[in-house]
Amino acid sequence: MLAFDPVLLAKRQLAGDRAKTARFPGLYERKIARMSASPLAFLRGAAPLFYEILSKRPDLARGPAGEGWLTGDLHLENFGAYRPDHGSYDNPAPRTGKNAAPVATFNLNDFDDAIQGPWRFDVLRLTTSLVLGGRELGADGTRALELSYRLLDAYVASAFGRPRPVPIPRPVRALVEQVAERSRAALLDGRTEIRKGKRKLVRGERYLDLPASVLDKVPAAFAKYAAGLLPEAERPSKDELTILDAALRVAGTGSLGGLRVAVLVQGKGGPDGSWLFDMKEQGVPSASVLLGKPKLDPALRVVTAIEACLEHPPRMIGTTKLGGLSLFVRRLSPQEDKLDLTHLRDQDLNALATYLGSLVGAAHKRGRKKEAKPWTAAECDGIVDRAIAIAGLHEATYLALCKLTRR
Report yes or no: 140 and 147 within 8 Å, Cβ to Cβ: no
Minimum mean pLDDT range among 53-67, 125-139, 187-201, 214-228: 187-201
Under the banding of pLDDT at 50, 70 and 90, the label for residue 1 is very low
Per-residue pLDDT tens digits for 325-380: 999 999 998 889 999 998 999 999 999 999 999 999 999 999 999 888 999 999 99
pLDDT of residue 196: 81
Distance of alpha carbon 127 from alpha carbon 76, whole angstroms: 9
pLDDT of residue 36: 95
Per-residue pLDDT tens digits for 287-313: 999 999 999 999 999 999 999 999 999
Closest CA to 336 of 201, 179, 114: 179
Alpha-carbon distance values, 128 to 169, 251, 295 (Å): 22, 23, 29
Distance of alpha carbon 33 from alpha carbon 51, whole angstroms: 23
Minimum mean pLDDT range among 62-66, 90-94, 95-99, 330-334: 90-94
pLDDT of residue 268: 87
Q: DSSP states of 75-98 as a string?
A: -TTSEEEEPBP-S-SSSPPPSSST
pLDDT of residue 88: 44
DSSP one-letter code for 368: B
Q: Please compute the mean of the pLDDT values over residues 163-177 and round it to a whole number.
A: 92
Under the banding of pLDDT at 50, 70 and 90, the label for residue 93 is very low
Quick one: what percent of the chain has pLDDT higher than 70? Answer: 95
Distance of alpha carbon 260 from alpha carbon 119, whole angstroms: 29
CB atoms within 10 A of CB 338: 15
Q: Judge whether residue 98 has pLDDT over 80.
A: no
Q: Judge whether residue 86 has pLDDT over 80.
A: no
pTM summary value: 0.93
Residues shown for the chain:
407
Q: Output b/e per residue, 151-182; b: 16+ Cβ within 10 A.
A: bbbbbbbbbbeeeeebeebebbeebbeebbeb
> Domain map of the chain by residue range?
6-405
Closest CA to 111 of 308, 265, 368: 308
